[in-house]
């Protein structure tokens, strides 16, 4: 696990997310096994980010992820705000051109940033900078889009699976469709923004959106996705231990991480 205590990509709305990596690691170690009983190895490294310098931090995150990939590891990045996915995916895209990305999130994170990728706009920048083709991006749990984001997603043909579709079609049907698209790709990154889950279960996050996924739905999808042979890296982001309900949000983030290790 790579601890990435970075919150400066949240435009002031994610202060406190820098406390999440250490809290998640502690919660992972406290249980120490996946739900099926298999022990998890909670080896961690700290990525030396600087919360007063976004660009320096992003380049250090990229370097850490690239090194892990080069060493044949499957990096699991613990954020931090969602902007850390930009360097994480950039590293995978260099190592495995043509890679895809699955993002579990309440929001599409496709706002127009104009500057360094933020937690609201990292996905748009991955597309606009040609780092990931929109046809290889899959959004799960989306339910709170700005009209400009909806327009961007539709124009680019990015596929998305809102909670309403999961409710109507069933979790396994959605998972089957997703996995069929993913198996052919050279590599896949999975990003879990904890706000994909309903705020009843994960309240301590910067932009909670009602009527989200159930924790069980998320864990079920992840337990299926982890069987893909081309899954090469992960991140878990946007938990904020300083907000109300921080403990149960961190505990859920840790449960997600354990399923991915």
Binding site for Mn ion (CB under 5 A): 82, 105, 109, 193
From 96, 85, 65, select the one nearest 188 (Cα to Cα): 96
3-state secondary structure at position 2: strand
Beta carbon of residue 109, minimum distance to Mn ion (angstroms, whole number): 5
Closest C-alpha to 101, from 118, 89, 119: 89
Instruction: Tell me whether residue 60 or residue 82 sits nearer to Mn ion (CB atom).
Output: 82
Which is closer to Mn ion, CB of 42 or CB of 132? 132
Backbone angles phi, psi at 112, to 5 degrees: -85, 110
Closer of 144 and 188 to Mn ion (Cβ):
144
Supply the minimum distance, in Å, between the C-beta of residue 120 and Mn ion: 8
What's the CA gap between 90 and 97, in Å, rounded?
Answer: 10
Q: Helices 246-260 and 215-225 meet at what angle, rounded to 10?
A: 20
Listing DSSP states for 165-176 in one string gives HHHHH-HHHHHH
| Strand ranges (E), the chain | 2-3, 45-46, 76-78, 100-104, 137-140, 159-161, 188-193, 231-237
Nearest to 252 by CA among 227, 222, 231, 225: 222
Residue closer to Mn ion by CB (options 193, 198) is 193
User: Which one, 141 or 241, has the nearer CB to Mn ion?
Assistant: 141
Least Å distance between CB 83 and Mn ion?
9
Q: Which is closer to Mn ion, CB of 207 or CB of 258?
A: 207
The nearer residue to Mn ion, 109 or 259, going by C-beta atoms, is 109
Closest distance between Mn ion and the C-beta of residue 119, in Å?
6
Name the minimum Å distance from CB 115 to Mn ion. Answer: 17
Helix axes 54-70, 85-95, angle to 10 degrees: 40
Distance in Å, CB of 140 to Mn ion, minimum: 12
C-alpha to C-alpha distance for 247 and 203, rounded to whole angstroms: 10
Nearest Cα neighbor of 205 from 2, 13, 3 is 13
Provide the minimum distance between the beta carbon of 191 and Mn ion in the complex, in angstroms, as a whole number.
Answer: 8
């Amino acid at each position: 696990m790579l601890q990435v205590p970075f919150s400066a990509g949240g435009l002031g709305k994610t202060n406190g997310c820098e406390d999440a990596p250490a809290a998640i690691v502690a919660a992972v170690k406290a249980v120490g096994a996946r739900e099926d009983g298999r022990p998890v190895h909670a080896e961690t490294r700290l990525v030396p980010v600087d919360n007063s310098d976004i660009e320096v931090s992003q380049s250090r995150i990229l370097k850490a992820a690239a090194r892990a990939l080069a060493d044949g590891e499957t990096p699991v990045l613990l954020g931090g705000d969602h902007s850390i996915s930009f360097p994480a995916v950039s590293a995978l895209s260099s190592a495995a051109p043509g890679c895809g990305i699955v993002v579990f999130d309440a929001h599409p994170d496709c706002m127009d940033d104009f500057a360094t990728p933020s937690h609201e706009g990292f996905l748009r920048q991955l597309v606009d900078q040609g780092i990931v083709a929109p046809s290889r991006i899959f959004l799960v749990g989306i339910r709170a889009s700005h009209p400009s984001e909806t327009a961007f997603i539709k124009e680019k043909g990015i596929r998305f699976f809102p909670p309403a579709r999961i409710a109507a079609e069933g979790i396994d049907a959605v998972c089957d469709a997703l996995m069929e698209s993913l198996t052919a790709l050279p590599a896949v990154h999975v990003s879990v923004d904890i706000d994909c889950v309903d705020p009843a279960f994960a309240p301590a996050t910067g932009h909670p959106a009602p009527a989200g996924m159930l924790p069980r739905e998320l864990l079920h999808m992840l337990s299926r996705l982890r069987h893909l042979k081309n899954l090469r890296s992960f991140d878990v982001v946007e938990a904020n231990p300083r907000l109300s309900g921080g403990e149960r949000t961190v505990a859920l983030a840790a449960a997600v991480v354990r399923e991915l290790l």
